[in-house]
């Protein structure tokens, strides 16, 4: 009987201990909740992420959206009156914002972190409208606050309200090409705009010179741009900046360039070299704004000029002979070809 009473008394003590502990926890929670309800907003801390160069929305804009929903008097208001989930939803309705996260820290500061959409290309439609797209191909409006320095694409065929499947595919190609160009400072200095022809293919318009660069689609895009850079670095200094009316990059392993005509002589070589040096200096200045600097690439050897010499072609309707030569083969080179190769090596030395 005594043993039974002893066991029961022990159980009662254990039960009382746990009951007291639970009551204490509940009391602390109630105090904490009451204290939280009594706390007020002491400030706002806004952080904008997701962009590197182009800011189309600033902290003042974010603050206005918050005030529009919660009222102008934010600091000093009880924290319990803020519906943070609803405020996040209101912020995400803005076209330039991708995501918003709001919370209060232990000092009562309203922490606001928003992710901005960053445009990757500017597009002009055939009917004169213009817009940006971001990495997800989301259409973004033109802003009167900021103009982004981006590759420009013209003659987009679609009206945005009735965009077709082919147009969406074209937007994806524009996205890929624009991002590639932005990573290379030399390409940014060469390409003025990219026109879309009736077949949905790309034609590049250079900043220097009057030729059209036939690019085609984005298939084998990296190799096409490598050929274009090689052409500008090795061939233009020799033949002149305005000698060709078309540069075609669509042939595998070749650059086919058509000459304007016999009546249009080659530009003065010194002037051409001056232009190319200006282009190189411009490219270097732009390198700090891009994620990839062309100068970091391994230098192309002077033997690479053979790729261009094997690819250059006069327009058959304008000139009867061809300047295609098999450099490095058993075929004897003409004196003019030897002179061209010698000049190319000199230019290559200057570029280094």
Lowest average pLDDT, out of 42-51, 151-160, 260-269, goes to 260-269
pLDDT tens sequence across 46-90: 999 887 766 788 899 999 998 888 877 888 899 988 999 999 999
| The pLDDT of residue 348 is above 60 | no
The full set of domains in the chain, from first to last, is 43-116 (3.10.20.310), 183-351 (no CATH)
Distances (CA, A) of 39 to 3, 107, 109, 177, 308: 54, 9, 11, 52, 73
Lowest average pLDDT, out of 38-42, 129-133, 180-184, 307-311, goes to 307-311
Helix (H, G, I), strand (E, B) or coil at 74: coil
Q: What is the pLDDT of residue 108?
A: 93
| The pLDDT of residue 216 is above 60 | yes
- Across all residues in the chain, what is the average pLDDT? 74
Strand order in the sheet with 97-104: 43-49, 109-116, 97-104
Q: Residues 133, 120: contact at Cβ < 8 Å?
A: yes
| Torsion-angle region of 137 (φ positive above 0: left; ψ -120 to 50: alpha; else: beta) | left
Q: What is the pLDDT of residue 285?
A: 62
φ, ψ dihedrals at 167, nearest 5°: -65, -40
pLDDT band at 222 (very low <50, low <70, confident <90, very high): very high
Q: What is the pLDDT of residue 274?
A: 57
Task: Label the pairing between strands 212-216 and 244-248.
Answer: parallel
């Amino acid at each position: 009987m005594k043993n039974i009473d002893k066991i029961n008394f022990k159980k009662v003590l254990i039960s009382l201990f746990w009951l007291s502990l639970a009551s204490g926890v509940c009391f602390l929670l109630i105090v904490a909740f009451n204290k939280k309800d009594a706390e007020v907003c002491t400030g706002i801390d806004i952080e904008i992420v997701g962009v590197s160069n182009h800011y189309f929305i600033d902290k003042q804009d974010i603050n206005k959206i918050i005030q529009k929903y919660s009222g102008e008097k934010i600091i000093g208001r009880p924290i319990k009156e803020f519906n943070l989930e609803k405020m996040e939803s209101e912020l995400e309705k803005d076209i330039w914002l991708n995501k918003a996260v709001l919370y209060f820290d232990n000092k009562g500061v309203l922490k606001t972190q928003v992710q901005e959409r960053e445009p990757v290309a500017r597009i002009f439609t055939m009917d004169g409208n213009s817009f940006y797209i971001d990495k997800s191909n989301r259409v973004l409006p033109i802003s009167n606050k900021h103009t982004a320095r981006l590759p420009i694409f013209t003659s987009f065929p679609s009206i945005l309200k009735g965009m077709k499947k082919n147009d969406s595919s074209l937007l994806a190609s524009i996205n890929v090409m624009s991002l590639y160009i932005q990573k290379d400072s030399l390409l940014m200095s060469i390409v003025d705009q990219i026109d879309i022809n009736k077949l949905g293919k790309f034609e590049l318009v250079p900043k220097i010179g009057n030729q059209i660069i036939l690019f085609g689609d984005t298939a084998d895009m990296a190799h096409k741009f490598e050929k274009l850079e090689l052409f500008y670095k090795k061939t233009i200094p020799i033949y002149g900046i305005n000698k060709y009316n078309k540069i075609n990059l669509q042939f595998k392993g070749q650059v086919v360039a058509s000459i304007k005509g016999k009546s249009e002589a080659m530009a003065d070589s010194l002037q051409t070299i001056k232009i190319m040096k200006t282009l190189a200096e411009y490219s270097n200045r732009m390198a700090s704004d891009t994620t990839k600097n062309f100068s970091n690439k391994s230098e192309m050897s002077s033997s690479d000029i053979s790729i261009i010499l094997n690819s250059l072609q006069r327009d058959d309707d304008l000139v009867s002979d061809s300047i295609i030569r098999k450099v490095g083969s058993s075929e004897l080179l003409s004196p003019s070809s030897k002179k061209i190769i010698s000049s190319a090596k000199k230019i290559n030395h200057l570029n280094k």
